[in-house]
Amino acid sequence: MTSEVARLRNDEELRQVATKMAHKLLFHTKKLSSLLSYVITLLEVFKREIQRNTKLGYCDCELAFVCYKVAGVLCTECEKQDKNSDLVKATRDTYDLKKHDYATISAVLGVSDNDRQKSVGNGQALEADLLARFQNLKSPSGSTDSVATKPKYESRHISGDIPLIDYAKLKGCVTASELHDLIRSFKILLIDFRASKDHNYNHINYPEIVNIEPSQVNNLIAQVPNCSDMDLEQKLSHIIPDAHLSRFKNRTSYELIVIYNFNFGPTGANPNRFDALCERVIAGSRDRISSTPFDDLIDILMFRNKFPGHTLSRYPCFLAGGVSNWFEVFGKESITRTITDPVLQRPPASLSREGSTKAIPTRRPSLKPVGETHHSSPYLKNFGDYLSTVKSGSPRPVDSSFSQITSTASLPAKTSPSSSVSIPANQRPTKNLSTRNAPSVKSTPSNNVGASYSPKPTPPSSSNGSMRAQDTTTFLEQYTTGLTNLGNSCYMNCILQCLGATPQLTGFFFPSLSSSASLENSAVQSYRQHINVNNRLGTKGILTTNFVNLLKNMFASTGSYFTPSEFKTVMGSLSPSKQFATYDQQDCIEFLEFLLDRLHEDLNQMVISDPEEKRAISELTPEQEKTREILPVRLASTIEWERYLKLNFSIIVDFFQGQYSSQLRCLICGATSTTYNAFSILSLPIPNRLGSSPPALSLDDCLNAFVTTELLDDDNKWFCPQCKKRTKSTKKLTITRLPQVLIVHFKRFKISPTGQFSKLDTFIKYPVNQVLDLTSYWPPVGTSVNESMASSEIMSIEREQQVLSTLPTRNQVPPFRYKLFGVANHFGNLTTGHYTSYVRKKSDAKKTREWCYFDDSKVTYNCKESQVMNKNAYCLFYQRI
């Protein structure tokens, strides 16, 4: 048996462990109230493991078995002392209700249970708070009593020797010695769940590590109670170092995730978890006995996946005793620190699968390459400037600091008493931040749409209008090329057809293309000057170049079909965990998000490597957050967008991204917390309609459901910073910025508490040949963030307009009217479905095209409006007109 194999205890060994724990607890006390407390604590631990088994199909069956056996012994002892006590009876009833779950655990372990629990002691008296804990055990919330919820995966019998990595997922924790063995044999991702300053000072000497601060998770849950793993990824993208973010994005490629903090859990090289539990039960510390400090993080990573493809292969574990115990077991060479200054030194070896089993070698410190700078590319006010810029090797100076956007010095003179609101500058001290320049905010007339790049029918700006000829536009809007299905690749084909019909995108990559015959002579290489090869979040232009080549081949094959095998291979190799390399069914929205994100990062002109600088830009001080709560929506949204552009500035942002605000309001004290989030895809809920044959919904119904105020109660309560506790609250979403290309996604797939996905086939009506007007959803000047503010505190409309006139408008001028140009359809269910698309094409004298239906390589022309509006619509592509 190797060190990478663990042996499960057999029937007799488990009974011995249970007997030993029961004797130890009864030796410590025979007081009735204490024994009842022990029973309830053990049943809480048992319940936690049953809940894991229900969700995952596996759990720490050994621990669950022992807890139930010991609880039974203690129950019998309590009955001997006071058989008629209501609390004793209730505790026994609760214990008996869990016999079904205990039978399941016994079957998994392959043990029999024909012995009776035996009493071993005596005691007396009750304690008051036991009843509340007992009631919680009986509560229906998450209940796993006699009629257990069917697990996502069926439990199976386990015994004898099993791989250590599987034993770790069963326990939910690993010892220091076990982790050392796992690192040598498996692909493990460590998450250091501490403040960044603590991580930088000392952390486990291992290269595959990500530092996530508990406050980042807590703040996310406070702001977005129902947050997903992608919400966390988005939040971290502006905070943690690029290398850490890259590992986190590829989290599904690791065989196991292990989380640790400073010292949580039992200590020692191989601590006995049963002895540790017994000691904590005796100590009477209810805190963290049936839970861990990592539960919220694990819940997000394991159960709140936005897409099915993001599910982890194994339940994350925590490291017993944390980094402190790791140091005690393996010594100073097992710990390293992050060095942030350039230092010349010989790089020591790092811990790897081939590392020594006797000692952990020292990991090379995280160093900045000598001569590397963290200056971002210059901030450009519009995409006319962007498109005319040629990349150079050295950073260019910028006019002013970002803080000037929100400083009182940059605002016009006060014109009314209500305009006394000032927007504080960012006061967070950061290394060299004062030397880094940021966007110029020269005055832009309020009626100017901005100089963003925009195709017809929107009139082009003077900065780029000459780049696209009429014949270019005509060909790009006429070509029709089918795409071969490479084996369940219809999810990719339907999205490529819609993106290939997006004039903003094709016009950027092919500014002078007039016909398929001009492909070789077209200036299609001009986009290369905008690829940022230094952005570690991108693909160094690999994906972008292959995407352009794909479009080029599609143009050349118009009227026929093309096989996109090379592009799929590239996408597969670049995707997290090689997700798109397989021939499995995938979600087209997940594919679209990945593609847009990588195109953005390849073309992102604002890359800042210094995590402290990124943090200073992406995080507000408490004073700034308070100010944001009293600013008008239009002004707050604009300032937040300019701040967002400090880290994200590409054609994808300019064409595809909008913004929505999320406001939480405490119903006790009225305090609010508002955040502003960018989106590339507007995911809309599908409202429930009662009845066996509910009427069809409209796109407006889904939009209204998106912006409807939501009540947060029970487990979703918000932690109000004013009340200092979780309170009943409301959540309100508002669309604050609308993009040039609006992608709407209907949330047709819902996940059940057991992890099963189901599809909603609700018919949703949407404008096909008519105009979609979203102006009413866009808050105009004069809209207050906080409606409960006194009138004297509200900034006047005149003052707001005055301040807005100093900031770039960036196309945010009503009306916001859109025309549909693409529809991605999904037939069937998540595992056996099929994707197709409708795309609007221009006709000419030779051929009537209009709405074309793309079913992989097959193309059908001139489809009716009634066909385009169909119940299988999954994703809509609208262009602003």
Catalytic residue among 23, 100, 834, 863: 834
Task: Give buried/exposed letters for 669-689 (b at 16+ CB in 10 A, else e).
Answer: eebbbbbbbbbbbbbbebeee
- Is 212:297 a contact under the CB 8 Å cutoff? yes
User: Which is nearest to 820 in space by CA: 777, 783, 873?
Assistant: 873
Phi and psi based region of residue 163 (left: phi greater than 0; alpha: psi -120 to 50; beta: remaining) = beta
Question: Residue 502, Cβ neighbours under 10 Å: how many?
Answer: 22
Cα separations (Å) of 219 from 222, 297, 732?
5, 12, 17
**In 237-304, which ranges are continuous DSSP H helix?**
242-249, 273-283, 295-303
CA distances from 669 to 221, 672, 712, 725, 744 (A): 20, 9, 15, 11, 36
Q: CA-CA distance, 515 to 276, in Å (whole number)?
A: 74
CA 794 – CA 321 distance, rounded (Å): 52
Give the active site residue among 490, 666, 720, 875: 490
Q: To 10 degrees, what angle do helices 295-303 and 214-223 make?
A: 60
Q: Which two structure tokens, joined as six digits, stand for 374?
A: 């963290």
CB 752 within 8 A of CB 742: no
In angstroms, rounded to a whole number, what is the distance separating the alpha carbons of residues 654 and 380? 12
DSSP reduced 3-state for 825: strand
CA distance 23 to 49: 23
Token reading at 258: 């292990």
Closest by CA to 231, choosing from 158, 167, 306, is: 306
Instruction: Say if residues 822 and 501 touch (Cβ distance below 8 Å).
Output: yes
Beta strands in 193-262 (DSSP E): 203-204, 209-211, 256-260
Which of 97, 76, 99, 98 lies closest to 88 in space, CA to CA?
Answer: 76
Q: Write down the H helix ranges in 786-826.
A: 797-804
- For residue 751, list its beta bridge partners: 757
Residues 6 or more apart from 423 whose CB is under 8 A from it? 405, 406, 407, 408, 411, 624, 627, 631, 639
SS3 content of the chain, % helix, strand, coil (to 5): 40, 15, 45
Distance CA 256, CA 250 (A): 12
Q: How far apart are the first and last CA of the chain?
A: 69
Question: What residues contact 384, with CB distance under 8 A and at least 6 apart?
Answer: 451, 452, 453, 461, 462, 463, 464
Q: Is 669 a catalytic residue?
A: no
> What residue type is 81 in one-letter code?
Q
CA-to-CA dists, residue 195 to 536, 797, 819, angstroms = 23, 42, 48
67 labelled catalytic: no
Contact 628, 636 (CB under 8 A): yes
CA-based nearest residue to 780, from 417, 446, 415: 446
605 in Cβ contact with 530 (< 8 Å): yes
Which residues form the catalytic set?
490, 834
